[in-house]
Structure 1
């Protein structure tokens, strides 16, 4: 393990994902979310295939044992992506990023519901704290629902992003199941393939012929998204998940910077307070997960060969 390398790769991945989101947002005025999902997924495929070829994993990395598992992970993940992309067209980039942080909190809840994982009071308390943060971010939007058109659109955007976070959390549950039998490379590749195909179902609902600038944005979003996925996957080869997970939250700094410079977006104090509560809750859960992991490791080491 080389933790510093893992952290560096994670930071690169986080930066690339925010740049990808900014490109999707820049094209969102003219390109519908389903079409954006297609570009993001389709143009990630050659990047992922090139990565597999360089690693010599073309023959083994694409084998699957659970076709339906990959399908449902792709279905839920594609839905999450579409909802997030729709929200990007309606909300400031930092706000979408903050609400997206709800996904790791919901994973804790869903893991208890669907994977029978034991979740103690400590982690449930952290989830509750994070959900308070989500409410702090959401409240100004929901109170304007039914108001002027722009404010109503932003309220709808906030709901869409939160639903996207729910779907993203469910996708993580499917991934936890898949990693027990599937190669990581296969999970990455078949998600891009599935989301590409599923996004075509939205073609009758208003796809457009994008202009030259929008096309460049969308193609770059796909290429950068594929590259970001590779950096993210590689990061976990060099450091434990508990070490690099907190660096997800660096995305807020990048989102604020890009939102301010590119989109002239200035986050409100209430949004920042809510985001801080969500981040704090996420870090508490990460620390607790690390403690539980160490305890499990010690208990295994103390067991006799007979158990």
Structure 2
């Protein structure tokens, strides 16, 4: 192998490692955002918090336009699908915050990990993708894991267990819509427009959802918006550097972040059923991602 070829190989391996690490950091950012929303949801309306989270994301991206390129963010070929992605993002945010109001972080994430499995089913219906028998086996095993994690160990959870499932469904819809236009849109445009349309949608509810917050609460919400924006930018860079089959399984490191933050911040100790269910869903998701047919 030539020296140039060896250097290219080393650069490729380095990019894969960096991409995987970026994905892990992104998942910790997402859990940090959700933890902030969980804390604020005890005092404020969920739709108002979703509005604030998207407001700060749009503000941060506008501030970054001189560095990342205004045209790259503003030009879109699929405004209607971007609007639908914004609606799906609103649903994802609202449902996960509603779940976290009554459920531990770890249990909520164990259930929402079913999103890639649901996305595969939705892609079969709407994008005419045909999963193989191996993929169907992964999907069924994953949902079995969800059933294990669904055991209502969270105090007072009860019917609120529907919220993480609804979040997984909304997130799956978001994934399918993203996949439908990913090859035809700039990633930065997809990031800006999903936040912009989500902000417009949640603004419609402001007359009913507005909540007065203390300065420190606005600071927390601004920090949450920064975590969310940074997480999405890290995702873009991660997928630019490494293959999907390497990067996507890294999202399951969220369960580690959820257990750690849940214990340190909220005093939550994950149950055996939660961890077992999460392990089954994670194994099924990884197998699904790595499956070629």
TM-score (norm 1): 0.87
| Residue pairs, 1:1-307, within 5 angstroms | 1=12, 2-55=15-68, 57-140=69-152, 151=156, 154-288=157-291, 291-292=292-293
Pairwise CA distance, 1:207: 2.8
Q: Is the 2:96–2:163 contact (alpha carbons within 8 Å) kept by the matching residues of 1?
A: yes
Q: Structure 1 CA distance, aligned partners of 2:61 and 2:20? A: 21
Q: Is the 2:151–2:273 contact (alpha carbons within 8 Å) kept by the matching residues of 1?
A: no
Pairwise CA distance, 1:47: 2.4
Q: Structure 1 CA distance, aligned partners of 2:70 and 2:76? A: 12
- 1:193-214, Cα deviation, whole Å (9 max, x unpaired): 1111111222244432122332
Pairwise CA distance, 1:51: 3.9
Q: Is the 1:74–1:195 contact (alpha carbons within 8 Å) kept by the matching residues of 2?
A: yes
Pairwise CA distance, 1:170: 0.8
Q: Structure 2 CA distance, aligned partners of 1:4 and 1:156? A: 41
Gaps of at least 5 residues in structure 2 are 1-11
Deviates more, 1:154-163 or 1:120-129: 154-163
In the alignment of these two chains, the number of paired residues is 280
Gaps of at least 5 residues in structure 1 are 145-149, 293-307
Q: Structure 2 CA distance, aligned partners of 1:239 and 1:33? A: 35
Give the secondary structure class of the aligned counterpart of 1:139: coil
RMSD: 1.6
Q: Structure 1 CA distance, aligned partners of 2:27 and 2:186? A: 22
Pairwise CA distance, 1:40: 1.1
Pairwise CA distance, 1:33: 1.1
Pairwise CA distance, 1:157: 2.7
Q: Is the 2:73–2:193 contact (alpha carbons within 8 Å) kept by the matching residues of 1?
A: no
